[in-house]
Amino acid sequence: MFFRWDWLRPQLTAPIVPTLGPVHPDALTVGIFEDTLRAADTGDFLPYDKDRRWGGEKDEKVLREDVIHQPDRTLIPTLTRRGHGKVKVFAYGPHDSVIDEAAELATKLATVHKVADARVVRPLAPENAHPRGTRIQLKNFTTGPCPAPDGPVRPVTDWSASVQETFAPFTETMAADGLAFLRTRMQAGRCGPVLAAVVDNRIVGAIGPMEVHPDAIGQSQLMPQYFAVLPAARGQRLGRALWRAAMSWGQSHGADYQLLQTEVEGPSDRLCRAEGLTSLGFSHTTQA
């Protein structure tokens, strides 16, 4: 075993694992960190990797020979070749000096691997919000009912053919939010259903795909979704209706929980906080 849990556990201020992202606190074990090292050797997806559902090969991997693991700090670098390439160093440790050390390591490794981007990812505890960070939020489906909302939300394929024809232009408009990519997966039959909100016979919002998969310890997780509403249609509570419809779908399909990442004080962040989700901490990424 490479990692010492008595060293690593006190440094985990938020449940973030390199190459996997946020995980449920109950799944945050030394085993999941060890799994990422084994995956670096094989190049395969871990069985519970959320990106496994998209197919292909795992792009991001841990640079295991460059991991720094000490009693007071742990630095775990990862490499992706997508685009111009990127090195990220996940910096775990209680002192701010860990950031400087991580930035130095990221810069060095970006040069070694001839990639253009070097970044530092710092997990932060729930009480240490960063104004430009990402909040990790937990929706627990076992604590109460998630009723389906009233309103014009249903799966895209349940709308009339004329309404479905408006999905393509909607996804192109919201391509920056991943909706165009999502439509290609739908066309290929490679993902679960997508829920859509309709106003005046036109799709103006969507959330999906809706899929439930087991996590590292066998709990059922509603997987992350793409989620967007046209700017012109905002302010009509359509985003809230879409989100509640997604939560109702997840609960009715056996999900135990969902993890969400939201930009601090962004629209989705405010929505999730208003809906009573539990904050598990934050992630702040900076250029090295």
Q: Could you tell me the sign of the dihedral formed by the alpha carbons of 160, 165, 166, 170, in that order?
A: positive
Contact 58/51 with Cβ under 8 angstroms? yes
pLDDT at 115 over 80: yes
pLDDT at 139 over 80: yes
Q: Which pair of tokens denotes residue 104?
A: 């130095």
Question: Which amino acid type is present at position 235?
Answer: G
pLDDT at 130 over 90: no
pLDDT at 40 over 80: yes
pLDDT at 11 over 90: yes
Q: pLDDT tens, 234-262?
A: 999 999 999 999 999 999 999 999 999 99
How many whole angstroms separate alpha carbon 215 and alpha carbon 80? Answer: 23
Contact 60/17 with Cβ under 8 angstroms? no
The confidence score (pLDDT) of residue 121 equals: 97
pLDDT at 1 over 80: no
The confidence score (pLDDT) of residue 267 equals: 86
Q: Which pair of tokens denotes residue 215?
A: 């996590």
Query: In percent, how much of the chain has pLDDT > 90?
Result: 87
Domains of the chain: residue spans and CATH = 5-127 (no CATH), 142-255 (3.40.630.30)
Label residue 138 by pLDDT band (50, 70, 90). very high
Q: pLDDT tens, 42-79?
A: 888 999 999 998 878 889 999 999 999 999 999 999 99
Furthest-apart CA atoms within the chain: distance in Å: 61
- Single out the residue of 167, 173, 141 nearest to residue 155, CA to CA: 167
DSSP 223: P
The residue-averaged pLDDT of 120-134 equals 90
The confidence score (pLDDT) of residue 147 equals: 95
The residue-averaged pLDDT of 16-45 equals 95
Q: Which residues contact 65 (CB under 8 A, 6 or more apart)?
A: none
- Report the predicted TM-score, pTM, of the whole model to 2 decimal places: 0.92
Q: pLDDT tens, 81-95?
A: 988 899 999 999 988
Q: What's the 3-state SS for 136-162?
A: EEEEECCCCCCCCCCCCEEEHHHCCHH
| CB count in 10 Å sphere of residue 135 | 26
How many whole angstroms separate alpha carbon 67 and alpha carbon 276? Answer: 37
How many residues does the structure list for the chain? 288
**Can you name the residues that pair with 117 across neighbouring β-strands?**
86
pLDDT at 20 over 80: yes
Q: DSSP H helical segments within 68-149, as ranges?
A: 97-112
The confidence score (pLDDT) of residue 221 equals: 98
Collapse the DSSP code of 271 into the 3-class scheme (helix H, G, I; strand E, B; otherwise coil) and give the result.
Answer: helix
- 69 Cα distance to chain centroid: 25
| CB count in 10 Å sphere of residue 164 | 15
Q: Which pair of tokens denotes residue 288?
A: 């090295």
The confidence score (pLDDT) of residue 102 equals: 97
